[in-house]
Amino acid sequence: MPDPPVADGLQRETYLEVRYKAAMLADIGHNQLGHLSQPIDRFLAAAPERIEEVSITRLWSRGNTLRRQLKAHEMVATSADPTDPARLTPRAAALLGDLVEVFNVFIVRDPKGRELDDVRLGPKDRAKARRLLMLQHRW
């Protein structure tokens, strides 16, 4: 059931970018995505063309999975084991990082998204999210 985001002009524009970046990531294919293929497909399934049809809760949950995948990659990126399954190709990591950054902006601008992040985030993360929100209001 949709619980659509608050969709002002900037939020609509950000949502379009989220969808575009997710599609770009999916387009690089399973060979480069590996274990990330299923989470990105699930994310795209939760991102319909019309923002009014979005379930912010579902999109947040699936986006949070992508956040965790990026964090896992970052943790192993400097490890000595080049075969660690969390390691992404440089292109996949760059595209995922770009998607997660725009997704974070989208979520922090939505009241329900912020609420979900607040429940998930620790104190340092909450302060960072508040600073990001303050920067967004300056745009």
Q: Residue 89: which domain range?
A: 9-138
Taking only the tens place, the pLDDT of each residue in 112-123 is 998 898 886 555
Checking if the pLDDT of 15 tops 80, the result is yes
Distances (CA, A) of 51 to 3, 74, 95, 133: 10, 31, 22, 21
Q: Can you tell me the distance from the alpha carbon of 135 to that of 106, in angstroms, rounded to the nearest whole number?
A: 13
**pTM of the predicted model, to two decimals?**
0.81
Q: Where are the alpha helices (H) located in 77-122, listed in sequence order?
A: 90-108, 111-120
Task: Output the pLDDT for position 121.
Answer: 55
DSSP state of 34: G
At 126, the pLDDT band (50, 70, 90 cuts) reads: low
Residue 41 lies in a domain: yes
Taking only the tens place, the pLDDT of each residue in 73-100 is 888 877 777 777 788 888 999 999 999 9
Residue 4 lies in a domain: no
Residue 3 lies in a domain: no
Residue 24 lies in a domain: yes
Residue 62 lies in a domain: yes
Task: Provide the number of structural domains found in the chain.
Answer: 1
Residue 2 lies in a domain: no
